[in-house]
Amino acid sequence: MNEFVLNEDRFFDSDLSIRKFARELYNEIKDYPIISPHGHVDPNIFVENKPFPNPTELFISPDHYVFRMLYSQGVPLEELDIPQIGGKRLGKDPKKVWQLFAENYYLFAGTPSGVWLDYEFNKVFGIKEKLNGNNAQKVFDMINEQLQTEEFLPRNLFKKFNIEILTTTDAATDQLINHQQIKQSGWDGRVIPCFRPDGLTNLLNPNWKNELTELGKLTSLDVNNYKNFISALEMRREYFKSMGATSTDHGVISPFTYKLTEGEVNAIFSRALNGKATERDAELFTANMLMEMARMSCDDGLTMQIHAGSNRNHNNVIYEKYGLDKGCDIPQRTDYTENLKELLNAYGNNLNFTVIVFTLDETTYSRELAPLAGHYPAMKLGPAWWFHDSIEGMTRYRQMVTETAGFYNTVGFNDDTRAFVSIPARHDVARRVDANFLGGLVARHIINVDEAKNIIKDLTYNLVKKAYKL
Amino acid sequence: MNEFVLNEDRFFDSDLSIRKFARELYNEIKDYPIISPHGHVDPNIFVENKPFPNPTELFISPDHYVFRMLYSQGVPLEELDIPQIGGKRLGKDPKKVWQLFAENYYLFAGTPSGVWLDYEFNKVFGIKEKLNGNNAQKVFDMINEQLQTEEFLPRNLFKKFNIEILTTTDAATDQLINHQQIKQSGWDGRVIPCFRPDGLTNLLNPNWKNELTELGKLTSLDVNNYKNFISALEMRREYFKSMGATSTDHGVISPFTYKLTEGEVNAIFSRALNGKATERDAELFTANMLMEMARMSCDDGLTMQIHAGSNRNHNNVIYEKYGLDKGCDIPQRTDYTENLKELLNAYGNNLNFTVIVFTLDETTYSRELAPLAGHYPAMKLGPAWWFHDSIEGMTRYRQMVTETAGFYNTVGFNDDTRAFVSIPARHDVARRVDANFLGGLVARHIINVDEAKNIIKDLTYNLVKKAYKL
Amino acid sequence: MNEFVLNEDRFFDSDLSIRKFARELYNEIKDYPIISPHGHVDPNIFVENKPFPNPTELFISPDHYVFRMLYSQGVPLEELDIPQIGGKRLGKDPKKVWQLFAENYYLFAGTPSGVWLDYEFNKVFGIKEKLNGNNAQKVFDMINEQLQTEEFLPRNLFKKFNIEILTTTDAATDQLINHQQIKQSGWDGRVIPCFRPDGLTNLLNPNWKNELTELGKLTSLDVNNYKNFISALEMRREYFKSMGATSTDHGVISPFTYKLTEGEVNAIFSRALNGKATERDAELFTANMLMEMARMSCDDGLTMQIHAGSNRNHNNVIYEKYGLDKGCDIPQRTDYTENLKELLNAYGNNLNFTVIVFTLDETTYSRELAPLAGHYPAMKLGPAWWFHDSIEGMTRYRQMVTETAGFYNTVGFNDDTRAFVSIPARHDVARRVDANFLGGLVARHIINVDEAKNIIKDLTYNLVKKAYKL
């Protein structure tokens, strides 16, 4: 077998007249520090700073991008010992799980997971072979050995990856103890929270009442009335800000925005308190809470993020046994033009407000999102998200967004990952795709190379800091 | 005029660093036998094994891809002597129809029909000129002469085309006499049926009652109650299996799936028997029947196909005079995420079940279908269908599907044609597009050439045999 | 700074095997006269034939493509002195506005506005530097000086731009005095009107009653009943025809078509007269009026255009101060298959009728519009519109439309602009994109170069004249 090396020109157009510019542009920014303004890394790994247990626990068990694909090809989640609800594990031998993964590694050909894993194995762990069933155990051992070393402790990887800022995502009722501990530890890695109140703004959350109780405790307010509920959320936002947060995040099935009257919202809130909220109540309440959150952002300056369009837990069999985030969230059609109208009319002309919108429905890039972001000063477009965080996906994003919104109504890259070790891989792909897209514009004489150099720097670093007020 | 030769590198990217890999990959599989797991060739042509009448009857009258385009440019179907309802013909001189076709042949520039016809004329009939008004009669005669020869009899073409398996599409009440006759004839061409019960599952079918009566006769069951109706369908599936079928097919406007209660379904069934079924009844009944069919597939192992999204017979003027399949079926927006939820929740985790889903709505490739196929073990994606069975269409399919579903949740190519002579042309285009797509991945260092060689073999041959259990 | 020159190969694929054909094809038609069959240039500029006031009034104040982008990045419209409702201006120094524009010119990188402006500065005004904050005043002066010369008077630019026909867009109640004056002036520039009765067919138009009164005056009919209203519209169409019009245009949010019964339409019309029309009334009335307009087109031969899918005046803050066409029209999802069914069934098989359909929803190109245009003889596809009138947008249009509709069910290019000086820039981009698309087909051996040469001539000149009966 040939030695497996990542080609220095990977992902660039094969036509050399584009590739040469892509390479030149990529070289301008490849060593820039990483700003990760949105993601799901567990901050506790930096508190404990303990070795990752083993390759299986690092690459497979926590990564629904990975086990989703194996599951789709008939590998039961039980065989992979994916954590079940309540954390239950079957105690499979990690080496056997790894073997199964390696034998099926060919399934990832042409997927972003394949691209990221190749990078992680090769660049982070120095593996010079493509993973397969034959070398599975050798590769397991090689990675495992390194994981036990000082160099591969989370804080050292943070520095090695050249991360300037890492943002986590945290419930409104999270006390941010990990973030406090990181601060108090004296370690200088900048890990900041992001305020995500979905558990409280979605009345259909089975845990809503508990979260509400917790909110009351944390704020010492009687949150059994809507007005206090709002005040309590404002207090939590203040607390998050004091802990370094610069943004909020809102995951919604639809980006519908609608301000309820005082009477309406009180009625819905009280039905919710009595466990009698309907689906329509929940829709309206979420729409109303997006309005409240936008208003609060105008006041406290936190950048607002809206992630819309994921039909969560589509597969009930998996959900009931394994719970959330197990690869069975399926996108659905999403409309922004009418849904965001009320929010944008109320706050979209406000120069102190930034709302970053994400989609899983690519049809809205050119039809709705680019025209909206190309008009409203408050609105910016989030990068290609989730299933679209990929070479083709990010390329289509630039192709469909740029002509209407330009580059400057976008906000750089989000890795949005819980897989800490994949962060440099993901940012590298994004930088290469942007370099290649700009290289194509230069090669076709749409912009010149000096313009492209300014733009790639802004896309990599400046726009993200500006949009997230970092 | 220059001699007209099909370039050996046709449809490959013009950039040589992609083209060289595309060519290498194409050469790996270009001589593989053809598996045609879904199509509409009339099996009777292999029973009778008579010469095709003439070029006009071979290329124009039966091919709605062809006369649709001529009609769109103002050529009346009467001028082309397209068969009317009941088979009525006007008796136009086939040579005059051919002349009209040839004079308008430029309309097909850049279309898949143009690409297929060029191939058929050149590769199958050895015509070394591009068809036009001047050479129309000469070309007619050249083709016509060959059609009368032994070499061009249907069974011989079947062998010449290197077809390993050809699947037809047959009504649930079809007795499969042609298939029996083929078997009994001793000819070794493998022509197998596919069970398509749309005429019985669609209550709005004007012929529903007749089909039901026929179903009763064939199964000796009193199908005037729903329970027996279901048993009768199960019996027909068994019969199809005994005749070699490995799959079923379901053409629906929406892929809505929903299990009715016994009471509900009996009520709808009895309204249908009384000619009083409403549109909503029909929707619910079809949704219910998809659930039944999936259940039966779990039992009998027939692979299930769902073709959704065609708004049939959009042009009533044409429909009333010419009937079905006359080029006036128009796609419409189709949603899969919610519509398939019930079916996938009930049967999608079943490792014995395969459901292959097709779409005419490309927006669902990346948004819905790839995420669903990239999760549920039972679900696979059918290839780019109908209007998307084209160079750009298949390229977009791979671009939008691969990153989320990988290659291995797809099932190879379907030609889906009634035009028997177009089969090698269509498979050749599909193989070239796949070779080129993979060549692009290799040239951009996303996968290596050895991986690509394995994949192209699987896409051409292995995945289709596996998905259709052939 | 390097001299800024537009590259002769701009916008062509960087791969030379495509570029060489693109260049060859472009050279075939680059000097063809411009046919502009749909647009919004004010005909009065050719009546008065006075110098354009200054660069700011020429490039910024009237062009919502330009100030939309500046606004999205936080530049208040007040700073740009955009005309407010009633024409109110703040009297900002045009040089200061120009400075602000120049400092933000980098925002247009990669956008069609950037491409057009580069062309206009360079090719029309001979500016050999890329506009920026440093050279802003110099460029202002250079342009301004030329604007005062004979050569840059509107009529001379019309000739210089090699415009053969320029179509304006005019309300049904417009008396076309400008068009009369142009005719009477003896100037031989062909500037013709297009009949756009939206003000009368949209019952929600706040000005509807006034327009109706005006319609009555112009036709001397009592238009307070629907029958006379229809007769009056027929008369106005006749008048437009007599003034050179060959087409009508209809801007609708949805392309819903539906013929109301006499009773229904009379009831709605009378509610409208009483100021009591509901939103549903308005929807139905517009749907009905599209049917009436199609019927009239069958009679009088005017080509019908339908522009659907723009959610107008999305930003109420801007609308209330600045009025229509201020960059806050946002596209929304649009369905054609069902909506156009009634119109196409009634008139779509009529060989004397041409209906050209435009969309802002690209998802309908391959799913709905190409299949419809590829079947119905009356229907043709308008070119990539508005946000899609761009290099990538037009490329996607050809990629998604051609395989199903061919080239000959499209109608050439529309510039659709109010920015007169941008006309040659826009046509040049369209010609380059088509040349490049065809060059790609030739390089991949899908068509040959002779076919491509015929097609590019038809796309540039012949198809537009045919579709618009010019």
Same-domain status, C127 and C258: no
Residue C3's pLDDT band (boundaries 50, 70, 90)? Answer: confident
Contact check, Cβ <8 Å, C405/B72? yes
**Chains in contact with chain B (at least 3 beta-carbon pairs closer than 8 A):** A, C
**CB B272 within 8 Å of CB B218:** no
Q: Does B72 contact C376 at a Cβ distance shorter than 8 Å?
A: yes
Q: What CATH number does residue A97 fall under?
A: 1.10.2020.10
Neighbours of chain C (3+ CB pairs under 8 A): A, B
Which of B13, B332, B403, B409 to mutate to probe the A interface, most A CBs <10 Å? B403
Instruction: Give B1→chain A minimum CA distance, Å.
Output: 34
Give Cα B443 distance to the centre of its chain: 32
Q: Is C428 a domain residue?
A: yes
Radius of gyration of chain A (CA): 23
Tokens of B453: 């060689």
Please write the tens of the pLDDT for every residue from C333-363. Answer: 999 999 999 999 999 999 999 999 999 999 9
DSSP-derived 3-state class of residue C407: coil
Residue C215's alpha-carbon distances to A35, C42, C188, C197, C244, in angstroms, are 62, 22, 30, 10, 20
Q: How many domains does chain B have?
A: 2
Same domain, C379 and C394: yes
Positive or negative: CA dihedral C107, C111, C114, C118: positive
Tokens of B82: 């397209």
**Chains A–C, number of C-beta pairs less than 8 Å apart:** 133
Q: Which one-letter DSSP state was computed for residue C382?
A: P
pLDDT surpasses 80 at A357: yes
Residues B278 and B230 in one domain: yes
Residue at B7 is within a domain: no
Cβ-defined contact of A360 to B373 (cutoff 8 Å): no
H or E element at residue C445: none
**pLDDT for A345 beyond 70:** yes
Q: With beta carbons under 8 A apart, name residues in chain B contacting C367.
A: 331-333, 360-363
Both A449 and A405 in a single domain? yes
Question: Does A367 lie in the same domain as A245?
Answer: yes
Q: Is the pLDDT of residue C1 over 60?
A: no
Residue A2 in this model has a pLDDT that exceeds 70:
no
Chain A interface test: which of C12, C320, C387 (most A C-beta within 10 Å) = C387
Which residue, C211, C194, C193, is CA-closest to C202? C211
Rounded to a whole number of angstroms, the distance from the CA of C7 to the nearest CA of chain A is 7
Last residue of a domain, one of C152, C169, C189: C152
Tell me the mean pLDDT in the region B20-36: 98
Cα A401 to the center of its chain, rounded Å: 20
- Does the pLDDT of residue A216 top 60, yes or no? yes
| Contact across the interface for B11 and C400, Cβ inside 8 Å | no
Is the predicted pLDDT of residue B4 greater than 90, yes or no?
no
Band of pLDDT at residue B1, cut at 50, 70 and 90: very low
Average pLDDT of the residues of chain A: 97
| Neighbouring subunits of A (3+ Cβ pairs under 8 A) | B, C
Degrees, nearest 5: CA angle C457-C18-B443? 150
Residue A10 lies inside a defined structural domain of this protein: no
Q: Mark whether A145 and A191 lie in a shared domain.
A: no
pLDDT in tens, A304-321: 999 999 999 999 999 999
- CB–CB of C72 and A345 under 8 A? no
Q: Which residue in chain A is spatially nearest to C108 when comparing CA positions?
A: A406
- The ipTM value here is 0.98
pLDDT tens-digit profile of C99-124? 999 999 999 999 999 999 999 999 99
Q: In this predicted model, what pLDDT tens digit does every residue of A261-304 receive, in sequence order?
A: 999 999 999 999 999 999 999 999 999 999 999 999 999 999 99
| pLDDT tens digits, A169-185 | 999 999 999 999 999 99
- Is residue A336 included in any domain, yes or no? yes
* Full residue range of the structural domain in which residue A459 is found: 16-50+154-467
Chain A residues whose beta carbon lies within 8 Å of the beta carbon of residue C6: 445
Are B387 and C403 a contacting pair at CB < 8 A?
A: yes
Cβ separation of C72 and A377 shorter than 8 Å? yes
Q: What's the gap in Å between the CA of A333 and the closest CA on chain C?
A: 10
Q: Would you say residue C434 lies in a domain?
A: yes
Q: Which residues in B lie closer than 8 A to residue C349 (C-beta atoms)? A: 315, 317-318
Q: Which two tokens stand for residue B311?
A: 């708004």
Question: Could you tell me the two tokens for A157?
Answer: 């990887």
- Cβ of A404 and C332 within 8 Å? no
**Cβ contact A269:A229 at 8 Å:** yes
A358, part of any domain: yes
Question: In the A/B pair of chains, how many CB contacts fall below 8 A?
Answer: 132
C127 and C183 inside one domain: no
| Phi, psi for C315 (deg, rounded to 5) | -100, 100
Is A456 inside any structural domain? yes
Strand C34-36 relative to strand B303-308, pairing: unpaired
DSSP state of B410: B
Question: Do residue A111 and residue A189 come from a single domain?
Answer: no
User: Do the Cβ atoms of B64 and B326 come closer than 8 Å?
Assistant: yes
Token pair 């009239």 is found at C296
Are residues A42 and A123 located together in one domain of the fold?
Answer: no
- Mean pLDDT for C302-306 is 98
Assess whether B127 and B22 both reside in one domain. Answer: no
Statement to judge: residues A244 and A147 lie in one domain: no
Q: What is the CATH number of the domain that holds B308?
A: 3.20.20.140
In chain B, what residues touch A333 (CB-CB under 8 Å)? Answer: 335, 337, 363, 367
Question: Last residue of a domain, which of B131, B152, B173?
Answer: B152
Of B14, B68, B332, the CB nearest to C15: B14
Q: Classify residue C125: in a domain, yes or no.
A: yes
Confidence of residue B2 (pLDDT cuts 50, 70, 90): low
Q: What letter would DSSP give residue C111?
A: S
Q: Do C446 and B11 touch (CB under 8 A)?
A: yes
Q: Which residues pair with A357 in a beta bridge?
A: A306, A381
Q: What would the mean pLDDT of A406-429 be, rounded to a whole number? A: 98
Same domain, C139 and C186: no
Average pLDDT, chain B: 97
A124 and A421 in contact (C-beta within 8 Å)? Answer: yes
Q: Using the predicted structure, report yes or no on whether residue C318 has a pLDDT greater than 80.
A: yes
Cβ-in-10-Å burial (0-12, 13-18, 19+) of C276 comes to: exposed
Find tokens 């519509």 and name the residue. B339
Given a contact cutoff of 8 angstroms between Cβ atoms, the answer to whether C455 and B109 are in contact is yes
Residues of C in contact with B392 (CB under 8 A): 399-400, 402-403
Q: Where are the beta strands (DSSP E) in A173-242?
A: 191-192, 195-196
Q: Which of C152, C179, C214 is the last residue of a domain?
A: C152
Q: How confident is the model at residue A4 (pLDDT cuts 50, 70, 90)?
A: confident
Residues of B in contact with A391 (CB under 8 A): 403, 444, 446
Question: Which of C219, C158, C218, C165 shows the shortest CA–CA distance to C193?
Answer: C165
For residue A338, list chain C residues with Cβ-Cβ distance below 8 A: 311, 332
Which of B327, B392, B393 is nearest residue C375 as measured by Cβ atoms?
B327
pLDDT digits (tens, 9 = 90+) for B56-101: 999 999 999 999 999 999 999 999 999 999 999 999 999 999 999 9
For residue A286, the distance in angstroms to the closest alpha carbon of chain C comes to 22
Partner residue opposite B371 with nearest CB, options A6, A115, A387: A387
Of B111, B315, B362, which has the smallest distance from its Cβ to C366's Cβ?
A: B362
Q: What percent of chain C has pLDDT over 90?
A: 99
